[in-house]
């Protein structure tokens, strides 16, 4: 059972992009989140989400949605930017660094410059060239740029689910699923579908004591009746796990989940 702490505790939140629901849960426990974002190719954290006093006057959902944004570049680096990706191949960084509009709608790739970025990949000139096309470090993360200058990740380019021509953000779907009172964590990946090309599959973990009381069909039925979700976003399948595969730094290993969704062997997570 979660208990409200008598003294506030400041907690750094990083690794996989957090949800608004996570920040709401943390603050309700007297945990004060410090949201940072970065890459192995940066110092580590290279942006920070700054909570503003004016947010106290916002609707609760809007407040925590803003807290879940990745925020602004550190003072030790140049401002973080979001640039347009190649229309021919979204996975291929573009050498033309054309910034997207700061409207919170146009999607592009996050890029970094500054003295806390890596210089190169060791003895790998081809990977270095691709990483630094146009003179900036390409993150591979798709995002929007808000009018106040904050960036917000929508998904990794390789994690976008394309179903019937519609782009589904795995992060957006995960953020919705974790609002279910019995779900602890959620990770969504594409699974092949004969009719739509791809459909989402969700892997979830559940709250303590709920294992065996909740089925994947229960979650699918709940999602179908949840406001704010389109029918094409509803997972085709939901699988309940004891734990999700993660890296040593806490990031979801979606490459493993994608393999599982295609019937790969489960010992691959070892």
Predicted local distance difference test score (pLDDT) of residue 121: 96
Same structural domain for residues 121 and 169? no
* Pair 195, 141 in one domain: no
- Count how many domains the chain has: 2
Mean pLDDT of the chain: 91
> Once rounded to an integer, what is the mean pLDDT over residues 30-51?
93
Q: Which of 189, 136, 128 has the alpha carbon at shortest distance from 162?
A: 189
Q: Is the pLDDT of residue 270 over 60?
A: no
For residue 236, what is the domain's CATH number? 3.30.300.30
| Section 9-21 average pLDDT | 92
108-112/137-145 β-pairing? antiparallel
In terms of domains, do 171 and 145 share one? no
Quick one: pLDDT at residue 16? 84
- For residues 47 and 151, the answer to whether their CB atoms sit within 8 Å is yes
Which of 141, 156, 171 is the last residue in one of the domains? 156
226-248 burial, b if ≥16 CB within 10 A, otherwise e?
A: eeeeeeebbbbebebbeebbbee
Strand arrangement, sheet containing 9-13: 9-13, 31-38, 45-49, 72-73
Give yes or no: residues 63 and 79 share one domain: yes
Q: Which residues pair with 207 in a beta bridge?
A: none
20 and 65: one domain?
yes
Domain extent for 33: 1-156
Examine the domain organization and report whether 34 and 101 are in the same domain. Answer: yes
* Region for residue 140 given its phi and psi (left: phi exceeds 0; alpha: psi -120 to 50; beta: otherwise): left
Of 156, 181, 199, the last residue of a domain is 156
17-21, 93-97, 201-205: which has the minimum mean pLDDT? 93-97
**Final residue of a domain: which of 93, 128, 156?**
156
Residues 19 and 85 in one domain: yes
- Comparing C-alpha atoms, which of 210, 206, 265, 207 is closest to residue 239? 206
Q: Among 49-58, 98-107, 144-153, which is the least confidently predicted range?
A: 49-58
> In terms of domains, do 13 and 97 share one?
yes
Point out which residues pair with 65 in neighbouring strands. none
> In angstroms, what CA-CA distances link 64 with 58, 95, 117, 186?
9, 35, 29, 18
Could you tell me if 76 and 169 lie in one domain? Answer: no
Tell me, yes or no, whether 228 and 104 share the same domain. Answer: no
Q: Measured between alpha carbons, how far is 211 from 175 in angstroms, rounded to an integer?
A: 21
Same domain for 202 and 111?
A: no
CA 241 to CA 238: how far, in whole Å?
A: 10
pLDDT tops 60 at residue 74 = yes
Confidence of residue 159 (pLDDT cuts 50, 70, 90): very high
The verdict on 242 and 265 lying in the same domain is yes
**Distances in whole angstroms, Cα of residue 189 to Cα of each of 1, 180, 259:** 30, 19, 10
Please tell me the distance from the alpha carbon of residue 161 to that of residue 215, in angstroms, as a whole number: 23
Q: Does 193 have pLDDT greater than 70?
A: yes
Question: Each residue of 244-262: pLDDT tens digit?
Answer: 999 887 889 999 999 999 9
CATH of the domain at 152: 3.40.50.12780
């Amino acid at each position: 059972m979660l208990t409200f702490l008598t003294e506030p505790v400041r907690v750094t939140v990083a690794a996989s992009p957090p949800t608004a629901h996570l920040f709401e849960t943390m603050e309700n426990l007297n945990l004060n989140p410090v949201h940072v974002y970065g890459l192995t190719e940066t110092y580590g954290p290279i942006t920070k989400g700054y909570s503003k006093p004016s947010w106290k006057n916002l609707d609760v959902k809007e407040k925590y949605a803003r807290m879940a944004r990745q925020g602004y570049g550190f003072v030790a680096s140049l401002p973080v930017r979001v640039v347009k990706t190649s229309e021919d191949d979204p996975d291929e960084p573009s050498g033309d660094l054309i910034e997207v509009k700061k409207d919170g709608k146009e999607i592009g790739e996050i890029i970094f410059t500054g003295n806390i970025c890596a210089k190169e990949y060791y003895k790998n000139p081809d990977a270095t060239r691709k990483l630094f096309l146009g003179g900036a470090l390409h993150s591979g993360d798709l995002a929007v740029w808000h009018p106040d200058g904050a960036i917000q990740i929508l998904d990794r380019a390789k994690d976008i689910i394309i179903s019937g021509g519609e782009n589904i953000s795995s992060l957006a779907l995960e953020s919705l699923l974790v609002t279910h009172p019995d779900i602890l964590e959620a990770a969504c990946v594409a699974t092949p579908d004969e009719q739509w090309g791809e459909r989402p599959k969700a892997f979830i973990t559940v709250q303590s004591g709920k294992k065996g009381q909740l089925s994947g069909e229960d979650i699918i039925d709940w999602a179908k009746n949840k406001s704010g979700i389109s029918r094409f976003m509803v997972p085709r399948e939901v699988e309940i796990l004891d734990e999700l595969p993660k890296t040593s730094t806490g990031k979801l290993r979606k490459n493993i989940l994608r393999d599982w969704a295609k019937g790969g062997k489960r010992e691959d997570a070892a």
